Chains A and B, each alone.
Chain A
Amino acid sequence: MKELAGSSGLVLNEPLLFERGKRGRFGMSMPRRDVEYFPVDEELAGSGPDFPDLGEVEVVRHYTRLSTWNFGVDTGMYPLGSCTMKYNPKINEKLAALPGFAGAHPFLPTELSQGVLKMMFDLERFLAEITGMDAVSLQPAAGAQGELTGMLIFHAYHRSRGRCRSKIIVPDTAHGTNPASAALCGLTPVKVCSNERGVLSVEAVASAMDEDTAGIMVTNPNTLGFFEENIRGIAEVVHDRGGLVYADGANMNAVLGIVKMGAIGIDVLHLNLHKTFSTPHGGGGPGAGPLCVGESLAPFLPVPRVVMDSGLFRLSSDFPLSIGQLHAFYGNVGIMIRAYCYILSLGSELKKVSQLAVLNANYVKEKLKGILHLAYDRACMHECVFSDKLQAPLNVSTLDMVKRLIDYGFHPPTIYFPLVVQGAIMIEPTESECKEELDLFVEAFGEIVKEAEKSPELLHNAPLRSKVRRLDETGAARNPRLTCAGVIERGKDTA
């Protein structure tokens, strides 16, 4: 096969921050002292934390070396299903760091913050146009907070109609944040199962939906990579019984310009700017999870909201039915700027993004079919789900195969999710990957499957080329070591 990206270059070791440094070093330029010392209340004063003192070069080396142990989208293909690890445009980083944005204080007077307010106002309108929803709040700091906001709106809506409801329908393919967010609002999740086509049936939802059920949370396209084709019928059943339909927009990357959620019966929808709209995941965050709603639910959106009168943008909290506020200020503005730049850069070409994301997923699905067992043999949207069924008799699991993928220079797909597929391997290539890269990925999987037959122990031991090998997670959980306390103590003893 063609030479793969995975190699074994020089990996440098790097100790803990606390094993470096020496008293008296400085890694930062201190401002000149131009005022005198004032007395400090002795009773309140402390000695300050015992941080190590490092020089600037030490700090730079430390973090540069650490960074080389990481794999990012810029390093290689990152086909993590339902996470949409697409390319993060560099220009967006540069523009979000403009001093006018990065240096802006959230309590600046209205007249002095028109630039950011206009950006937020426009971004809300863009997202409304893309989703077909009527009103948008950019405030939620992440998808899960968007879900929570949505559930708070469900709660407030039912309360405003005189009766709180106690249950919520959550399909078996849902992300764990769905039931966790609903539970925060006192809603008990009721599970419904997807059918043999990997989607929800109207009947299944109808049998679970009653007058005490607040509504349904549905991810569309779902985590199996299928469009919930019965969504209109489902929405009708839920609406008929007084409920609301929530859509988890984690997989919106499949349907930009293809489906408008507002037109298919969705009442509330959250987006993940860090998935669909290209903002970097940052090794865990920060992201942003804007919430989009239909007109009748707009009064419940969080405050403050951006409004415009006579050409002046301002923040307004004058919405008496609002559920309140979820963020210390107005949400992750730095992330909004990046998404705004992304949308402007693509404009109506966003539809092409979805077309190519779906093309890539179907291409990988066709090419890998036969090498791996395909859980549902039908056309997919942005991601496809395989399993380890063919390799299980060889005593090789999903985990073994994806760990070996690391040695070949690819980030593993999402595994063991969704729960409805045993040993699931969930692949989302995104539109960012070119055909050659996809071919290489498929080829790597082909090699791994051959290895599974010839030398399964190689897979059990994988990865072999990474900084560390498989780690003892049982030991980590039985005896949690969550800080460098031991190292610090040792340092003191020898000092």
Chain B
Amino acid sequence: MRNCYGYCQGNCIHRTSIGKGIKMKEISQLVIPEDVRYTRDHEWARVEGEIVRMGVTDYAQEQLGDIVFVEVPQMGRRYAKGEECGALESVKAVAEVYMPLGGQIAGINSTLEGSPGLVNSSPYTDGWIAEVKPSEISDMEGLMTHNEYIEMLKGSRQ
């Protein structure tokens, strides 16, 4: 997730811009599982047999606030690693979602259509975004581990 757009002349709920008014979680309070790999843009990817499941991290969902709509990737379409494949929308901000690795979309989480809040409440489980049939499974090795991701977050919070 990056490119958080958002401003308004009215009621801005975009937390990254009024973050100080609302207490954000400490890094230690964030859920950062060890069984997934991470991108610098706060997506996660988990190998599940032939496919790789992907979504956005706890940090990403918290930055955005209440998610009201998820634009999921196109079923069956091939995307390159790092390509924009979807978007998360809160009331007054949009964050784009990028492919953690190249491949073809083999499944999308259609429950997000009616319950976009799942990305907020369980970003790594019920709030997953897509299943990818990877072109190169070795791409996973290029992604950050749990520890590397925590280090990156610490760096960005300084």
A contacts B: CB pair < 8 Å: yes
* Nearest Cβ on chain B to A11's Cβ, whole angstroms: 21
1/0 contact string of A456-490 vs chain B (CB within 8 Å): 00000000000000100110011000000000000
Contact B69 A416 (CB under 8 A): no
Segment 82-129 of B: residues with Cβ below 8 Å from A? 89-92, 116-117
Given contacts A176-B7, A473-B11, contact A478 B21 (CB under 8 A): no
> Once the chains bind, are B13 and A473 in contact (CB under 8 Å)?
yes
CA distance A474 to B13 in the complex (A): 9
B116: chain A residues within 8 A (beta carbon): 478
Q: Is the CB of B68 within 8 A of A399?
A: no
B42 in the interface (beta carbon within 8 A)? no
A428 to chain B, nearest CB (A): 12
* B126, chain A: closest CB distance, angstroms: 16
The contact of A423 among B17, B69, B90, by CB within 8 Å, is: B17
Interface pair A423/B21, CB less than 8 Å apart: yes
Residues of B within 8 A of A4 (CB): none
- A317 in the interface (beta carbon within 8 A): no
CB distance from A400 to the nearest CB of B (A): 7
- B8 partner residues in chain A, CB cutoff 8 A: 415-417
CB pair A473–B7 under 8 Å, yes or no, is no
Specify which chain B residues have a CB less than 8 angstroms from the CB of A83 in the assembled complex: 9
Q: Is B43 in the interface zone, CB < 8 Å from A?
A: no
User: Contact between B21 and A400 (Cβ–Cβ < 8 Å)?
Assistant: yes
- Minimum CB–CB distance from B84 to chain A (whole Å) comes to 15
- CB of B54 to closest CB in A, whole Å: 23
Count of A-B residue pairs with CB < 8 Å: 67
Q: A392 in the interface, Cβ–Cβ < 8 Å? A: yes
Contact B17 A422 (CB under 8 A): yes
Name the B residues within 8 Å of A176 (CB-CB): 7
Verify A473–B91 contact, CB threshold 8 A: yes
Nearest to B19 among chain A residues (CB) is A422
- Cα–Cα distance between A422 and B21 once the two chains are bound (Å): 11
Contacts A474-B68, A478-B116 known; A423 to B7 CB distance under 8 Å? no
- The A324-379 residues at the B interface (CB cut-off 8 A) are none
Give the one of B10, B22, B116 with max A CB within 10 A.
Answer: B10
Question: Could you tell me if B20 and A423 are in contact, using CB atoms closer than 8 angstroms?
Answer: yes
User: Are A398 and B7 touching (Cβ within 8 A)?
Assistant: no
- Size band of the interface chain A makes with B: 20 to 34
Q: Is B14 an interface residue (CB 8 A)?
A: yes
Residue from B8, B14, B22 whose CB has the most chain A CB atoms within 10 Å = B8
Residues of A with C-beta under 8 A to B7: 176, 416-419
Q: Would you call A114 an interface residue if the criterion is a C-beta within 8 Å of the partner chain's C-beta atoms?
A: no
Question: A398–B9 contact, CB under 8 A?
Answer: no
Contact B66 A474 (CB under 8 A): yes
Is there a chain B Cβ closer than 8 Å to A388's Cβ? yes
A421 CB, min distance to chain B CBs, angstroms? 10
Query: Residue-by-residue, is B24-36 near A (CB-CB < 8 Å gives 1, otherwise 0)?
Result: 0000000000000
Contacts known (A417-B8, A473-B13, A477-B91); A423 close to B117, Cβ less than 8 A = no
Whether a CB of chain A sits under 8 angstroms from the CB of B12 is yes
A316 CB–B CB distance under 8 Å? no
Q: How far is the CA of A388 from the CA of B22 in the complex (A)?
A: 12
Given B9, B68, B117, which contacts A417 in the complex, CB threshold below 8 Å? Answer: B9
Assess whether B23 is interfacial by the CB under 8 Å rule. yes
A473 and B12 alpha carbons, distance in the complex (Å): 10
Q: From residue 379 to 434 of chain A, which have CB atoms closer than 8 A to chain B?
A: 388, 392, 395-400, 414-419, 422-423
The interface residues of chain A lying within 8 Å CB-to-CB of B9 are 80, 83, 414-417
Complex CA–CA separation, A398 to B10 (angstroms): 11
Quick one: which of B21, B66, B68, B69 contacts A388, CB cutoff 8 A?
B21
The closest CB in chain B to the CB of A396 belongs to B21
Cα distance, A395 to B19, chains bound together (Å) = 10
A395 touching B18, Cβ below 8 Å: no
> Is A399 in contact with B18, judged by CB distance below 8 angstroms?
yes
Q: Within the assembled complex, what's the spacing in Å between the Cα atoms of A477 and B116?
A: 11
Q: Return chain A residues, CB-CB under 8 Å to B90.
A: 474
CA distance A409 to B60 in the complex (A): 38
Nearest CB on B from A173, distance (A): 11
Which residue of B18, B22, B89, B117 contacts A416 across the interface (Cβ within 8 Å)? B18
Candidates B18, B68, B117; contact of A398 at CB < 8 Å: B18
**Which parts of B118-154 form the interface with A (CB within 8 Å)?**
none
Query: How far, in angstroms, from A395 to B23 measured CA to CA in the complex?
Result: 8
Top 6 A-B pairs, shortest CB-CB distance: A397-B21, A477-B68, A392-B20, A416-B12, A474-B66, A473-B91
Can you list 29 A-B pairs with a CB-CB distance of less than 8 A?
Answer: A176-B7, A392-B21, A395-B22, A397-B18, A397-B22, A399-B11, A414-B9, A415-B9, A415-B12, A416-B7, A416-B8, A416-B9, A416-B17, A416-B18, A417-B7, A417-B8, A418-B7, A422-B17, A422-B20, A423-B18, A423-B20, A423-B21, A473-B92, A474-B13, A474-B66, A474-B90, A477-B68, A477-B91, A478-B117
Interface of A toward B, CB cutoff 8 Å: 80, 83, 176, 388, 392, 395-400, 414-419, 422-423, 470, 473-474, 477-478
